[in-house]
């Protein structure tokens, strides 16, 4: 029998895809990452590797740049055994489908990681987090804790961590 946690809650880890390339004549969903994007994603993921967290589920938009960003984080954080799903609805820029996807997550998932797009991510963190963020930058990571036992009931949470590449580069 699994021991029940005394503190029910949900952790949401949001990551915006890394900087993508406009060099090729491709549909938006097919755009690859730029070298700078790969470097920034590795920088942020490496910074988070000391945290030793293991999400129960990782979700990603189907765009090439988002899936590749997720792969970088999964490899750097050694999350290869974590369930990974691509969700078409996360190819969302308004935030409506992002909210719907998060709120429909099974309540057995206590720690969820989502790789997505702006403006959806910035709108979400400003509506559901407690620290205003002007823009979730590419490769940006935002962690929000919700003191609710159901994803469906989440409302204002506590923004626990914000990691952006520029802040990490300033420390180098």
CATH code for the domain of 158:
3.40.50.1240
Asked if pLDDT for residue 6 goes beyond 50, the answer is no
Number of domains the chain contains: 1
Residue 172 lies in a domain: no
Domain range for residue 145? Answer: 10-164
Collapsing DSSP to helix, strand or coil, 105 comes out as: coil
Handedness of CA 142, 99, 147, 8 (dihedral sign): negative
Q: What is residue 172's predicted lDDT score, i.e. its pLDDT?
A: 72
Q: How does pLDDT run across 48-104, given as a tens digit for each residue?
A: 999 989 999 999 999 999 999 999 999 999 999 999 999 999 999 999 999 999 999
Residue 88 lies in a domain: yes
Q: What is residue 7's predicted lDDT score, i.e. its pLDDT?
A: 60
> What percentage of the chain has pLDDT greater than the value 70?
96
**Neighbouring C-beta atoms of residue 135, cutoff 10 Å:** 13
Residue 89 lies in a domain: yes
The pTM (predicted TM-score) of the whole model is 0.94
Distance CA 55, CA 6 (A): 19
Residue 142 lies in a domain: yes
Q: Which residues pair with 145 in a beta bridge?
A: 11, 158
Residue 170 lies in a domain: no
Residue 21 lies in a domain: yes
Q: What is residue 13's predicted lDDT score, i.e. its pLDDT?
A: 98
The radius of gyration computed from the CA coordinates of the chain, to the nearest angstrom, equals 15
Under 8 Å between Cβ of 82 and 124: no
């Amino acid at each position: 029998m699994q021991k029940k946690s005394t503190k029910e809650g949900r952790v949401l880890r949001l990551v915006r895809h890394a900087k993508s390339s406009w060099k090729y004549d491709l549909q938006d969903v097919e755009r690859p990452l730029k070298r700078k994007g790969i470097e920034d994603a590795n920088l942020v993921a490496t910074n988070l590797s000391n945290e030793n967290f293991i999400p129960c589920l990782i979700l990603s938009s189907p765009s090439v740049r988002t899936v590749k960003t997720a792969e970088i984080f999964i490899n750097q954080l050694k999350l290869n055994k974590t369930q990974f799903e691509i969700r078409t609805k996360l190819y969302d820029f308004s935030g409506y489908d992002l909210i719907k996807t998060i709120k429909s997550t099974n309540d057995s998932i206590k720690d969820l990681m989502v790789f997505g797009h702006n403006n959806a991510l910035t709108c979400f963190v400003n509506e559901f987090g407690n620290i205003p963020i002007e823009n979730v930058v590419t490769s940006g990571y935002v962690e929000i804790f919700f003191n609710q036992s159901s994803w469906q009931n989440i409302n204002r949470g506590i923004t626990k961590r914000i990691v952006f590449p520029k802040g990490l580069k300033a420390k180098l």
